[in-house]
Amino acid sequence: MAILHGLAPTAIERCRVLEVACGDGANLIPMAYAIPGSEFVGFDLARLPVERAQARIAELGLKNVRILERDILSRCDDLGRFDYIIAHGFYAWTPAAVRDRLLQLCGEALTADGIAFISYNAKPAGHVRSMIREMMLQRVEGIDDLRQQVAAGIEFLRFVAESRPQQDVYRELIEKELKRLEPHDPGVTGHDELSEAYEPVQFTEFVQHARRHELAYLDEAVLPPPTDPVYREDVRRFVDGASGGDFIKQEQLLDFVRMRGFRETLLVRAGSKIERDVSPQSFRRLLLASQATPAAAEKPGSRSFVLPGGVRMESNHPAITALLEKLGNVWPSALSFQEIEPMLAENGLILDSDGAALLIRLAVAQMIELRSWHIPVAPAISERPKASAYARQEARMHGFATSLLHTRIALEDEKTRHLLEAMDGSRDRGGLFAAMSAAFPEMAAEELQKGLEQSLRLLQRAGVLEA
Ligand SMILES: C[S@@+](CC[C@H](N)C(=O)[O-])C[C@H]1O[C@@H](n2cnc3c(N)ncnc32)[C@H](O)[C@@H]1O
Average pLDDT over residues 380-405: 95
State whether the beta carbon of 8 lies less than 6 angstroms from ligand 1: no
**Is the pLDDT confidence value at 195 over 90?**
no
Pocket test for ligand 1, best of 28, 29, 44 (most atoms within 8 A of CB): 44
pLDDT at 297 over 90: no
Average pLDDT score over the chain: 96
Residue of 90, 193, 196 to mutate, ligand 1, most atoms within 8 A of C-beta: 90
**Band of residue 132 on the pLDDT scale cut at 50, 70, 90:** very high
Measure the CA–CA gap between 76 and 62, rounded to whole angstroms: 23
Query: H-helix or E-strand containing 305?
Result: strand 303-306
Which residue segments constitute the domains of the chain, with CATH numbers given? 12-21+72-120+200-269 (3.40.50), 125-194 (no CATH), 280-371 (no CATH), 389-461 (no CATH)
* Overall residue count recorded for the chain in this entry: 467
Dist CA 198 CA 190 (whole Å): 12
Q: Contact 159/176 with Cβ under 8 angstroms?
A: no
CA distance 92 to 260: 14
User: 3-state DSSP call for residue 234?
Assistant: helix
- Local confidence band at 300 (pLDDT 50, 70, 90 cut-offs): confident
Rounded to two decimals, what is the model's pTM? 0.95
3-state helix, strand, coil in the chain (%, to 5): 50, 15, 35
Nearest residue (CA) to ligand 1, atom 1:
89
What number does the ligand 1 atom closest to the CA of 191 have? 1
Q: How far is the CA of 154 from the centre of ligand 1 (A)?
A: 24
Ligand 1: centre distance to CA 387 (Å): 30
Nearest 10 degrees: Cα torsion 50, 55, 61, 65: 0
Distance of CA 88 to the CA centre of its chain: 10
